[in-house]
A and B are shown apart, each in its own frame.
Chain A
Amino acid sequence: MSMISREVAWRVFAREFNDSDLMIESEDDRSPSYLVTPLGAKINRVYLVGVLTECENIGTDEEPMWRARVTDPTGTYFVSAGQYQPEVATTLANMEPPIFVAVVGKANTYEPDEETFLTSVRAEMIKEVDEEQRNIWILEAARSLKNRLEIAMEASKMEDISVEELVNLGFEEKLAEGFKKASEHYGELTFEKYDRMLEDSLRYVLPEYESQTIEDIEKESKTEEEGDEELEELIVDLVSEFEEKEGLENGVEYERVKEKVMEEKDLTQEKFEEVVNNLRSDGRLYEPVLGNLKVIG
């Protein structure tokens, strides 16, 4: 039977979503386009629940263009809604962060240049929810991530990743295909980061979470992120310097910041992107227009 089936809404954590830089564009008008994550989720539509931390209309009243940030335990989703999503725009206009929200939307990407790949969600629906619903979502996203990690684990034992073998092991064909696609693009990845993300997000919904994570955070910041802090400060300083000197209301072009930083510091493109992403999730930088960085506050 040839059924037009509606695209499923993926429950994926922000970090995996934002780590993605593979877009499969539609071949014709009828077939959808997909963002493929490093773990092989082929995403056209997402369903996410998190904390709305900011929302702002960067358009006009007549032609609104809303931008919002929704954070989950792993990072921040960048959510947009324009004149073609009038209901969402109206709802966002009446929302006062911070609140828990549920969002359904389409995966969207923006590539200001060949090396930069930014992900966001074009909202189809947004609704205020409560903490209970947010915690249920974390469970669902964790279950979905766990499933993909199991595929990754099985696939890592194979010389050539075979969709057929994965299906025989009991995985859904779509997931197996997605994973193969992802592995061809992202190459061999270590998935420890996602393993940890899975555990952390599950702990997040437990009552004893607070005490645990304060220790974790202290440990982590000492071992891993010592060098990053310096870099973060440098980037924030640079952006605000540009803004002040040139009176830029809409922020500084991503590329200019990147060039400048890479001149001064010996670091890889990936490192730069990672640090900027961290700054965005920490709420220190944002994008007033796509491809521009601006200091918050």
Chain B
Amino acid sequence: MQEKEKLAPHVDDINRALNGKLSEEQIEEELRTYTERYGVPLGSAKRSIVKKYEGDPQELYVSTEKAIEDIEGDEQGLNLKCRIVSINEKEIEVDDEPKQIWYGILGDDTGTIPFTLWEEPSLELEKGDTVKIENAYANTWNDKPQINIGSKASLKEIDSEEVPEFDREAQKLELKDLRENMRNLDITARVTSIERKLVNGQDDKEKELYSGIIADETGKAQFSAWHDFGISEDDVIRVKGGYVRSWRGIPQFSFDDSAEVEFLDGDELPLTEDLEDVSVYTISDLAKRGGAVDAIVDAVMIDIKSGSGLIFRCPECRRVIQKGACRVHGKVDGEPDLRVKGILDDGTGALTVIMNRELTEEVLSYDLDKAMDTAKDAMNQEVIRDDVEEKLIAQPLKVKGNITSDDYGLMLVADDVEYKSIDVEKEAREMLDEVRV
């Protein structure tokens, strides 16, 4: 149970917002129901109660203190007690006028978060100061939450004992275990590719992004570094303080200047070419992860969907057309193409696989022109799909590509397809030996 004194300012706050519609006892009871019985965070509970009794949540004044790790972005009326981990000053232009702002990193015992201070602070701020911030707001930048301290906010210096030191060690993790929304990670991996990009950032300013692929002995992941750490291809790096964002189910490892990057000896991890084979996943693992980059799946093709083999696409939008008509552009002169849309199943799960023209031609061992001729002779384009079925169904395959997920399940867009060769006799003997033990 929360102490009465702790709740009292919030009960008063709700009371004011509701103009005395409820008694203080009723408000306290409601507040306890929301926060204690249903585990709703105090801030949301207050808003919900005020809305429930037709008040305006904007009238709430006493906001609630939040731990940094609970800030997810796009929140108003934030209160926090924190320590200034770093602070810098810079000049920006607002309406052609130069303006002074401050930015840096705030920390508490749960984590760190970038901040921007948009007005000259009422007190001199230095690295290491402990402050209480009221009525700040959060938004997201590069998919990561950050704090804004605007004109409505207030800053107050507090005793340093009120903010416990950040002592949580970054969580050591292997790449196969990356999951959406993880934070404060400690990852050691080899950079197998990296490129520098310029992306549009805040105030339309271009920002440097270093992105590519990292690999360890358990798997691969895309990464994004929002700061120039001087990383180059083949480096083995240890990143402390990274986080995970997902794109269509594929976990991506991200880190910025708040992270610590250490360059390790090259022989800490196998070479890039030896890490190539590590990213073999079972489909059930992929379903749990949501996706993977550059992954290999060993599975049997058990179905070839309609819309496979010889297809025709709309020249405008590339959609597959039916009976010479595009869903959007009506009657069009379809352009021929080859593709495979099938189901791969490895006994642990199933996913949809897509193969493009090049791979389909490889599977069929004839090209698009030959496919057109064959279909014309047969006066039926489905004969090409029959050939695809003949070649692929019941066939154990090794398929490599990126795997994404949406409401319809997992999808693998193949970069490479191989027939898998299996030494049945050898594997049977090995299994027999295990069984006999």
CB of A3 within 8 Å of the partner chain:
yes
CA–CA, A140 to B393, complex, Å? 16
- Please tell me if the beta carbons of B349 and A4 are within 8 angstroms of each other in the complex: no
Which one of A3, A11, A133, A172 contacts B407 once the chains associate, using CB atoms below 8 Å? A3
CA–CA, A5 to B395, complex, Å? 22
- Please tell me if the beta carbons of B249 and A1 are within 8 angstroms of each other in the complex: yes
CA–CA, A172 to B348, complex, Å? 10
CB of A49 within 8 Å of the partner chain:
yes
With both chains docked as a complex, state the minimum distance between the C-beta of A44 and any C-beta of chain B, in angstroms: 11
CB of A2 within 8 Å of the partner chain:
yes
Which one of B350, B396, B405 contacts A8 once the chains associate, using CB atoms below 8 Å? B350
Which one of B343, B350, B394, B428 contacts A49 once the chains associate, using CB atoms below 8 Å? B394
- Contacts A3-B409, A10-B347, A132-B424 given: A102-B435 contact, CB under 8 Å? no
- Please tell me if the beta carbons of B393 and A102 are within 8 angstroms of each other in the complex: yes
Mark interface residues in A71-101 (1 if CB within 8 Å of B CB, else 0): 0000000000000000000000000000000
Mark interface residues in A170-196 (1 if CB within 8 Å of B CB, else 0): 001010000000000000000000010
Is the contact region of chain B dominated by helix, strand, or loop, or is it mixed?
A: mixed
Tell me which residues across on chain A come within 8 A of B389, comparing CB atoms.
Answer: 127
Residue of B nearest to A8 (CB): B349
CB of B84 within 8 Å of the partner chain:
no
Tell me which residues across on chain B come within 8 A of A11, comparing CB atoms.
Answer: 347
- Please tell me if the beta carbons of B249 and A139 are within 8 angstroms of each other in the complex: no
Chain A: residues with Cβ within 8 Å of the partner, total of 40
Tell me which residues across on chain B come within 8 A of A8, comparing CB atoms.
Answer: 283-284, 345, 347-350
Residue of B nearest to A143 (CB): B431
Residue of B nearest to A149 (CB): B435
Interface of chain B residues 374 through 427 with chain A (CB within 8 A): 389, 393-396, 405-410, 422, 424-425, 427
Residue of B nearest to A135 (CB): B424
Tell me which residues across on chain B come within 8 A of A198, comparing CB atoms.
Answer: 435
Tell me which residues across on chain A come within 8 A of B425, comparing CB atoms.
Answer: 205-207
- Please tell me if the beta carbons of B407 and A139 are within 8 angstroms of each other in the complex: no
Residue of B nearest to A203 (CB): B432
- Contacts A1-B249, A5-B410, A11-B347 given: A206-B429 contact, CB under 8 Å? yes
CB of B157 within 8 Å of the partner chain:
no
- Please tell me if the beta carbons of A6 and B428 are within 8 angstroms of each other in the complex: no
CB of A136 within 8 Å of the partner chain:
yes
CA–CA, A8 to B249, complex, Å? 20
Tell me which residues across on chain B come within 8 A of A142, comparing CB atoms.
Answer: 428, 431
CA–CA, A172 to B283, complex, Å? 12
Tell me which residues across on chain B come within 8 A of A13, comparing CB atoms.
Answer: none
CB of B355 within 8 Å of the partner chain:
no
Residue of A nearest to B406 (CB): A3
CB of B261 within 8 Å of the partner chain:
no
CB of B231 within 8 Å of the partner chain:
no
Tell me which residues across on chain A come within 8 A of B283, comparing CB atoms.
Answer: 8
CB of A9 within 8 Å of the partner chain:
yes
CB of A290 within 8 Å of the partner chain:
no
CB of A231 within 8 Å of the partner chain:
no
CB of B113 within 8 Å of the partner chain:
no
Which one of B347, B408, B410 contacts A9 once the chains associate, using CB atoms below 8 Å? B347
CB of A285 within 8 Å of the partner chain:
no
- Please tell me if the beta carbons of B427 and A139 are within 8 angstroms of each other in the complex: yes
Residue of A nearest to B392 (CB): A127
Tell me which residues across on chain B come within 8 A of A146, comparing CB atoms.
Answer: 431, 434-435
Extra 20 A-B pairs, beta carbons < 8 Å, given A1-B290, A127-B393: A3-B405, A4-B407, A4-B409, A6-B350, A7-B350, A8-B283, A8-B348, A8-B350, A9-B350, A49-B394, A104-B302, A125-B302, A125-B393, A127-B394, A139-B428, A140-B347, A142-B428, A172-B284, A206-B428, A207-B425
Q: List 6 A-B contacts (CB under 8 A).
A: A6-B350, A6-B351, A142-B431, A146-B431, A206-B429, A207-B425
